[in-house]
């Protein structure tokens, strides 16, 4: 009872402080399914016209489903590339006695510190030269390469916590180094790999600059670029449409978060269980 008495002022204060945020999100949603009379914020009719982009492709624009599929493909491919390469490279850097290990570790860190945007002109030229400009593959490769240093470092950290004896026991049990990694070590870092995958997926989903510059047009547009093109379009500027597409764009992120939040909290709170 006393606990409640003590906590309610805090809850109240937090509610008041966060009310504007909640209101904003609520209004964002309400605004996409209603119309308001000019000069007023209070909606006066319910409508689905702002969501019409889902079933009706406006002329001169790619279909929203095509763009969503591209975004999905982009995020899935980059995150997959990142976890596959990072889980292997992280292991090598953590465990194997490779030559110039220190140099690689430092190099990877420097690469991560490098703002990708400074490279964009060079990347643009390279992609154009090898014919991957304005293709999804090109921008996927670039994005994965940029995310990889962080992934490698994270995975190295996860591998560092796996006891050395487990691997030696596996070797004594007759397993090859690869089998040891695959069957004994990888399961220990599974939560880490999952977290990295989710992280890389969300980074890919929200990436804007790279696709905007390297794969801007038509069939290869991703959602973020599509969304940006809505504001850039001065001729028929539609605020409500912009909001709806925005909501559509963040929905998967929210869903992913709600589905996996307990799992993620577990990784950072209690380590791997089961």
Partner 1 sequence: MRILLDKFSKSFGAVKVIEDMTLEIKDGEMLALLGPSGCGKSTTLFAICGIHKVTGGRIYFGDRDMTDLPSQERNVGVVFQSYALYPHMNVAENIAFPLRIRNLPGAEIKRLVDEMADLVHIGNLLDRRPAELSGGQQQRVALARALVRRPNVLLLDEPLANLDAKLRLEMRSEIRRIQLETGITAILVTHDQVEAMSMCDRIAIMNAGQIIQIATPKEMYRNPRTTFVAGFLGNPPIAFVEAEARDGMLAVKNADIRLPVPPDAVTPPDGTPVIIGIRPENLGPEGDAIIRGRVSFIETQGRENLYDIKLENGSVLRSIQRVRDDISLDDEVEWRVRSDRLFVFAENGERL
Q: What is the DSSP string of 120-167?
A: HHHHHHHHHHTT-TT-HHHHHHHHHHHHHHHHHHHHHHHHHTS-HHHH
Q: Using CB under 8 A as the criterion, which residues of the chain lie in contact with partner 1 when the complex forms?
A: 163, 165-166, 168-176, 179, 183-184, 187-188, 274
> At closest approach, how far in Å is the CB of 51 from partner 1?
46
- Pick the closer one to partner 1 by CB: 56 or 101: 101
- Pick the closer one to partner 1 by CB: 11 or 168: 168
Rg (CA), the chain: 24
> At closest approach, how far in Å is the CB of 184 from partner 1?
6
Residue pair 182/144 in contact (Cβ under 8 Å)? The answer is no
* 39 phi/psi in degrees, rounded to 5: 80, 0
> At closest approach, how far in Å is the CB of 270 from partner 1?
12
- Pick the closer one to partner 1 by CB: 56 or 190: 190
Distance CA 207, CA 73 (A): 13
- Pick the closer one to partner 1 by CB: 35 or 272: 272
Using alpha carbons, select from 189, 2, 232 the residue that is nearest to residue 87. 189
> At closest approach, how far in Å is the CB of 191 from partner 1?
11
Using alpha carbons, select from 208, 238, 203, 213 the residue that is nearest to residue 224. 208
> At closest approach, how far in Å is the CB of 273 from partner 1?
9
What H or E segment, with its residue span, contains residue 34?
strand 34-35
- Pick the closer one to partner 1 by CB: 20 or 274: 274
């Amino acid at each position: 009872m006393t606990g409640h008495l003590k906590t309610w002022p805090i809850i109240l204060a937090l509610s008041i402080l966060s009310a504007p945020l909640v209101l904003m999100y609520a209004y964002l949603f309400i605004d996409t399914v209603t119309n308001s009379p000019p000069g007023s914020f209070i909606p006066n009719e319910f409508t689905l016209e702002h969501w019409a982009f889902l079933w009706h492709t406006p002329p001169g624009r790619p279909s929203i489903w095509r763009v969503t599929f591209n975004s999905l493909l982009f995020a899935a491919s980059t995150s997959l590339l990142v976890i596959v390469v990072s889980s292997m490279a992280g292991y090598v850097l953590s465990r194997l006695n490779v030559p110039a290990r220190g140099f690689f570790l430092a190099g990877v860190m420097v690469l991560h510190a490098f703002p990708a945007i400074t490279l964009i002109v060079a990347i643009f030229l390279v992609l154009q030269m090898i014919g991957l400009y304005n293709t999804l593959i090109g921008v996927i490769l670039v994005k994965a390469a940029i995310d990889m240093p962080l992934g490698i470092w994270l995975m190295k950290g996860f591998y560092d916590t796996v006891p050395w004896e487990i691997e030696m026991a596996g070797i004594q049990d007759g397993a090859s180094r690869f089998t040891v990694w695959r069957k004994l070590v990888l399961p220990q870092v599974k939560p880490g790999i999952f977290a990295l995958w989710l992280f890389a997926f969300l980074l890919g989903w929200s990436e804007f600059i790279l696709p905007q510059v390297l794969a801007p047009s038509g069939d290869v547009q991703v959602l973020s670029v599509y969304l940006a093109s809505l504001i850039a379009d001065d001729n028929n500027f539609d605020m409500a449409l912009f909001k709806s597409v925005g909501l559509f764009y963040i929905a998967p992120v929210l869903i992913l978060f709600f589905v996996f939040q307990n799992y993620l909290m577990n990784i950072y709170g209690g380590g791997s269980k089961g």
